[in-house]
């Protein structure tokens, strides 16, 4: 089994924010593969869906713990399913990448300024897991927390294209074409 976790914040208020692009990518994946509808799981503090892509069993996850506590959900999932970290992909926004840049980091050991990633590293106890980083650019005029929680504005016209490109990278990762 492979677990793909999209990071974001729960609730309508955050639905279209830059910080929720991870949720948007796993939503797109659910529509692309044979998968169940989203179901609330209090056990995993997440909304989950199970699916199959080319005979590979997948668990799609949207933690409902809010971004800064994403590690709680991820820790519960990997311990319950006993999956190795190389079968875990975290999809998240990245303030430090230019808007629209998409980078897959495999077996990542690098430090991150992303609070969701930091939470996962703390709970899991190690930083060596794969990450798909989606650049949201940055606006040094307003504080970072306000920027990541803002909606896409002028950029919104090509957000579907960026999500599509990210989806291709997720599918490549699932099929082990990442290395």
The whole-angstrom separation of Cα 37 and Cα 62 is: 12
pLDDT value of residue 178 = 47
The whole-angstrom separation of Cα 160 and Cα 135 is: 14
User: 155: pLDDT confidence band, cut at 50, 70 and 90?
Assistant: low
Catalytic (active site) residue 114: no
Residue 179 has pLDDT above 60, yes or no: no
pLDDT value of residue 144 = 76
The whole-angstrom separation of Cα 146 and Cα 22 is: 18
First-last CA distance in the chain: 18
Q: Is residue 179 part of a domain?
A: no
Catalytic position from the list 2, 18, 19, 169 = 19
pLDDT tens digit sequence for 39-50? 999 999 999 999
Q: Is residue 160 part of a domain?
A: yes
Give me the CATH number covering residue 93: 3.40.50.1470
For residue 88, the enclosing domain spans: 2-174
pLDDT tens digit sequence for 123-133? 998 888 999 99
Q: Where do the DSSP E strands lie in the chain? A: 2-6, 34-35, 39-41, 46-53, 56-63, 88-94, 102-108, 129-135
pLDDT value of residue 142 = 75
pLDDT value of residue 108 = 67
The whole-angstrom separation of Cα 71 and Cα 88 is: 13
Q: Average pLDDT of the chain?
A: 90
User: 148: pLDDT confidence band, cut at 50, 70 and 90?
Assistant: confident
Count of domains for the chain:
1
pLDDT tens digit sequence for 18-31? 899 999 999 999 99
């Amino acid at each position: 089994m492979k677990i793909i976790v999209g990071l974001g914040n729960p609730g309508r208020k955050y639905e279209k924010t830059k910080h929720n692009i991870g949720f948007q990518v796993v939503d797109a994946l659910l529509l692309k593969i044979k998968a169940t509808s989203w179901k609330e799981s209090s056990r995993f503090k997440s909304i989950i869906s199970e699916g199959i892509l080319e005979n590979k069993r997948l668990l799609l996850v949207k933690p409902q713990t809010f971004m800064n506590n994403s590690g709680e959900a991820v820790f519960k999932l990997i311990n319950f399913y006993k999956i190795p970290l190389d079968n875990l992909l975290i999809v998240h926004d990245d303030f430090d990448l230019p808007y629209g840049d998409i980078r897959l980091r495999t077996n990542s050991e690098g430090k991150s300024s992303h609070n969701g990633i930091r939470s996962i590293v703390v709970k899991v106890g190690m930083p060596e897991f794969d990450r798909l980083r989606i650049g949201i650019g940055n606006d040094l005029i307003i504080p970072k927390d306000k920027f990541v929680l803002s909606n896409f504005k002028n950029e919104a016209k090509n957000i579907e294209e960026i999500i599509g490109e990210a989806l291709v990278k997720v599918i490549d990762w699932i099929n082990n074409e990442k290395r």
